[in-house]
Amino acid sequence: MSTLVQSESTRITPVIILVRPQMGENIGTAARAMLNCGLTEMRLVAPRDGWPNERAFPTASGADCVLERASVFENATDAVSDLHRVFATTARTRDIAKPVLTPRDAAPQMMNAIGDGQKVGILFGAERSGLDNDEVALADTILTFPLNPDFMSLNLAQAILLVAYEWRMFTEEAAEIAAANSAAMRSGRGQELATKEDLEGLFIHLEEDLEEAGFFVVEEKRGRMVRNIRAAFQRARMTDQEVRTWRGIIKALSGIRRRKNPPQL
Amino acid sequence: MSTLVQSESTRITPVIILVRPQMGENIGTAARAMLNCGLTEMRLVAPRDGWPNERAFPTASGADCVLERASVFENATDAVSDLHRVFATTARTRDIAKPVLTPRDAAPQMMNAIGDGQKVGILFGAERSGLDNDEVALADTILTFPLNPDFMSLNLAQAILLVAYEWRMFTEEAAEIAAANSAAMRSGRGQELATKEDLEGLFIHLEEDLEEAGFFVVEEKRGRMVRNIRAAFQRARMTDQEVRTWRGIIKALSGIRRRKNPPQL
């Protein structure tokens, strides 16, 4: 069964790792933000006031199951040791040579990694100090929030909420597309998000046919036009079934032209 | 000048309306959530502890400008009297015959309304009780959050954050597309989100050409295939320039010239 069509309770989700959290109340609101989006696995690295902490429960507003299952680690290295793919949230841009993504762009990567059987975790720093450089260095990818550059002030629970929300929005949409395709097709295919390779195949197919059709009249504009066309497809976040449909569309349309004007070779 | 390319400080944004908010602290965190996403106009309907309220400022974490400019109304009817388009956030589905949207789907509608010179507002209810039925009745459209059905527990600031975040993500993306098109084209066109009419013209153009190509082999599958193709385009949220590019692509591939506008019914 595809990971896309698992039920709510059995779905594998990213692990949320709070590094050196201070106030118990904030651990509670973090749990609440997580469970709103269906995330249940919390890890705590060296919580200042120890763990368990009574003060976390009232602010969790009923997300007790997240707190009760939280595991505690001495340091961030131990907390990520069993993970395959680690993201680190930072407010500032740092001089670290790692890819930087928004939560929205990271969600498909998290889902693809989990779909490949990998364990995914996201590091969040302490309330004021954030993650230190050694902790950021544990991550493959940096997450930043594309918010108001004149006022960026997310608290811990809000930062978690936005990352978890994008995860949920993306996986729910993917599950809906998969369910729609699955109900219609019953073919066992077409239920996965298209891979980069699928998309690249589609782009090259389209660009070759456009070349043949004489679409790129002005050679200097070609690069920009290709980028714009690719960008629209990328925003559409298609399944592999949809990519196949689009290849069929291109083939069908080009077939009309070629019948009328056979390509001169 | 298009509303899409206004600078941060002059951009027109939706008004956030807190109906009967109770704790001043929550008004502060609401202001903080707003300003993170570039929203600055707050209205307060009958705040329980009066206004101004000293307790709001510490939790605003510096978003004082939002609190200082907040205006106070006796009731929700007065607070929306100058608005053209009103959204109401609710956690429960109600027996009200109004369109229901997610914050993500509502953002383009808000932007289009503002682009048409309309004033847009979003109603948020009190911490525990939410909006009453008469207050919901003031809205054109209901906003609901597509979160964990087994645990939906957003506090006021988090609900505002998600709505404001989707507004920001959509308008920033639109501004980026507009800036990219603008820089490349300098034509004064192509900077607006495509209208439903533009998209309908594109769909009909594509479907006519696919019909001619014999793409719809199995007539019973035609409706579903058309819906799937349209859905991918809709997810891509294209500008009118991009729609024109796609019409050019279809024309180039098929070699058939079609009329620009769909038939009027």
A159 and A239 assigned to the same domain: no
A206, A125 contact by CB (below 8 A): no
* Single-letter code of the amino acid located at B132: D
The whole-angstrom distance between A98's CA and the closest CA on chain B is 23
A116 and A219 assigned to the same domain: no
Closest A-chain CA to B239: A232
Quick one: pLDDT band at residue B235, thresholds 50, 70, 90? confident
Domain end point (choices A176, A203, A221): A176
Residue B35 lies in a domain: yes
Beta bridge partners of A239: A193
Residue A109 lies in a domain: yes
What whole-number distance in Å separates Cα of residue A15 and Cα of residue B262? 49
Q: Which residues of A touch B155 (CB under 8 A)?
A: 32, 61
The tokens describing A147, both together, are 């918010």
- Total structural domains within chain B: 2
Residue A158 lies in a domain: yes
Quick one: pLDDT band at residue A96, thresholds 50, 70, 90? confident
Q: Are strands B71-73 and B100-101 parallel, antiparallel or unpaired?
A: unpaired
For residue A132, what are the domain limits? 3-176
Say whether A153 and B62 touch across the interface (CB within 8 A): yes
C-alpha of B37 from chain center: 13
Closest CA to B164 of B230, B103, B109: B103
Q: How far is CA B214 from CA A245, A256, B224, B233, in A?
A: 14, 9, 16, 21
**Which ipTM did the prediction report?**
0.71
Quick one: pLDDT band at residue B237, thresholds 50, 70, 90? confident
How high does pLDDT run on average in chain A? 86
Say whether B151 and A63 touch across the interface (CB within 8 A): yes
Residue B184 lies in a domain: no
Task: For B59-106, write each residue's pLDDT tens digit.
Answer: 999 999 999 999 999 999 999 999 999 999 987 666 677 888 999 989
Domain end point (choices B125, B149, B177): B177
Residue B185 lies in a domain: no
Residue A113 lies in a domain: yes
B35: left (phi over 0), alpha (psi -120 to 50) or beta: alpha
Q: Cβ of A237: how many Cβ atoms within 10 Å?
A: 18
pLDDT at A110 over 70: yes
Task: For A124-179, write each residue's pLDDT tens digit.
Answer: 998 778 899 899 999 999 999 999 999 988 999 999 999 999 999 988 877 776 66
The whole-angstrom distance between B238's CA and the closest CA on chain A is 7
B134, B125 contact by CB (below 8 A): no
Domain end point (choices A176, A209, A229): A176
Quick one: pLDDT band at residue A5, thresholds 50, 70, 90? very low
The whole-angstrom distance between A51's CA and the closest CA on chain B is 24
The whole-angstrom distance between B196's CA and the closest CA on chain A is 17
Closest A-chain CA to B246: A229
- Pick from B155, B206, B238: CB nearest A232: B238
B225 and B148 assigned to the same domain: no
Best mutation target among B8, B36, B101 (most A Cβ atoms within 10 Å) is: B36
Residue B75 lies in a domain: yes
The pLDDT value given to residue B71:
97
**pTM of the predicted model, to two decimals?**
0.72
Say whether A151 and B206 touch across the interface (CB within 8 A): no
- Pick from B214, B245, B255: CB nearest A257: B255
We report the CATH number of the domain holding residue A135 as: 3.40.1280.10
Say whether B162 and A158 touch across the interface (CB within 8 A): no
B137 and B173 assigned to the same domain: yes
We report the CATH number of the domain holding residue A231 as: 1.10.8
The pLDDT value given to residue B73:
98
